[in-house]
Amino acid sequence: MTIDIFLDVNVARLSHVQWEQELEHLVQGGKAPQALQSHEDCALGRWIYGRGLATYAKNRDLWALKEAHKEFHHRADEVVTLMEKGDTPGAKAVMERIGQLSREVVYRLTGMELAVLQRDWRSRALLHPGRMLDRLMGRPASHKMFPMIASTVPRKRLGIGRSKVERRAILLDANAARLTHVMWIQDLEHSFRHRGKGVQVQPAEECDLGVWIHGEGHDEFGSAPEFLALDQKHKEFHRYAQKTIASLSHGEYQHADTAYQHAIQLSQEIVVLLTRIELNFEDAKSLSKRIRSLL
């Protein structure tokens, strides 16, 4: 599948996290956003009530996204009010709930993005039926649908900084890491139908995201706090994924569900961390161009 970093559901994710970062800056003692927008008026809100509902109304993730986004803004209003009263501890407490809502927003948008790309892939696969054999036979899908490309791009040998081609390849790989991870957890969900039989969980360093973390990701972002947190959360995610499969294989369904819910929560945190890494890497001009395409 071809990743499109200008796809509306891809860009909406960045716009939302950028807004959340402004709110975090306020709680840390910075200035409030120039105009605190309502859930209908921010970039994501305008997209939801415009192109979003017009295009994705049949996708159940959109409706859950809409409600999470609405509550996110109600809570954001609370934070600003508390900060105006000088109640920083109260504002920080509300930020905990805002973080949960934001993780759901970003995760739902990633699920919608993946659905678009998978639909396009299935359309093309009809021309090459062999590509769908794994799914038809009940085997996990190949996560090489999003191949990493940065290592194939010639590095700039002279001068300072990276070429546009290099930067784009790095961005695409960060997106590929995010999308393949969500595909991975979709397969974990499917394993419930087979009671974990015949399912093996790869070690954290061997899945596609793990390979990226210990390779290209580490080389590019290794010193970033978000990247260090990503590595930790990813290892934790695999531990709970293994617990899920082990419990299923022993018929311990309640334990399996508990472990699976932990895995889902960690997966949401992973997707947000990857989004923050992408936001911090993207240059302002390119990011502005992407976000403008949303409106």
107/56 Cα distance (integer angstroms): 16
User: How much is the pLDDT for 41?
Assistant: 82
pLDDT at residue 44 in the model? 94
DSSP 196: T
- CB-facing half-sphere around the CA of 272: CA atoms within 13 A: 24
The pTM assigned to this predicted structure is 0.88
Q: Which residues of 199-217 are buried (b: 16+ CB within 10 A; e: fewer)?
A: bebeebeebbbbbbbeebb
Residue 132 is predicted with a pLDDT of 41
Question: Residue type for 111, please?
Answer: G
In this predicted structure, what is the pLDDT of residue 119?
86
pLDDT tens, N- to C-terminus, the chain (295 residues):
689 999 999 999 999 999 999 999 999 987 765 556 666 788 999 999 999 999 999 999 999 999 999 999 999 999 999 999 999 999 999 999 999 999 999 999 999 999 999 888 776 655 555 544 444 334 444 446 677 887 777 665 444 567 888 889 999 999 999 999 999 888 888 777 767 666 677 889 999 999 999 999 999 999 999 999 999 999 999 999 999 999 988 899 999 999 999 999 999 999 999 999 999 999 888 989 998 888 7
Q: How far is it, in rounded angstroms, from Cα 52 to Cα 185? A: 25
Do 281 and 290 form a contact (C-beta atoms < 8 A)?
Answer: no
Q: Give the pLDDT confidence score for residue 143 in this predicted structure.
A: 45
> Which helix (H) or strand (E) covers residue 215, if one does?
none
Type of residue at 144: K
Q: What is the pLDDT, as a whole number, of residue 150?
A: 79
Which pLDDT score, from 0 to 100, does residue 102 have? 97
What domains can be seen in the chain, in order of their start residue?
8-125 (1.20.120.30), 140-292 (1.20.120.30)
Angle, to 10 degrees, between the axis of helix 88-125 and the axis of helix 8-27?
170
